[in-house]
Copies of this chain bind each other. A is one copy, B any other.
């Protein structure tokens, strides 16, 4: 008997439209140094990265929480590639909505 298999798309919650995101939401997401580190890694990599690729000083469940906050703030999109949850920076959309913000935060001195 065939089992129902959920697709990757089913497993990733919806992403907000960037036009609904406020600067306040973006800053609340990026004031956290772990989340800023994730965004910095994606910014530098210039490619999508799986959650496990980004070295973080927190537990896996805490890391998952941080990735979720970033997705809910419109900063990253998430999808599955096989069993890996992939993360991509929504760079063009963010740059259009908040010009210069990403670069200023990623280029910023220290954490």
**Chain A residues within 8 Å of B, Cβ to Cβ:** 22-24, 26-28, 30-31, 33, 36, 97-101, 103-105, 107-111
Q: Which of A97, A108, A111 has the most CB of B within 10 A?
A: A108
Identical copies in the complex: 2
Q: Is the CB of A110 within 8 A of B24?
A: yes
Chain B residues contacting A110 (CB-CB under 8 Å) are: 22-24
How far is A111 from B24 in the complex, measured between Cα atoms in Å?
Answer: 5
Interface of A is mostly: helix
Chain B residues contacting A99 (CB-CB under 8 Å) are: 104, 107
How far is A52 from B33 in the complex, measured between Cα atoms in Å?
Answer: 34
- Top 10 A-B pairs, shortest CB-CB distance: A23-B108, A100-B104, A101-B104, A22-B110, A31-B31, A100-B100, A27-B31, A104-B104, A98-B108, A23-B110
Chain B residues contacting A31 (CB-CB under 8 Å) are: 24, 27-28, 31
Task: Give the shortest distance, in Å, between A73 (CB) and chain B (any CB).
Answer: 12
Chain B residues contacting A24 (CB-CB under 8 Å) are: 31, 33, 110-111
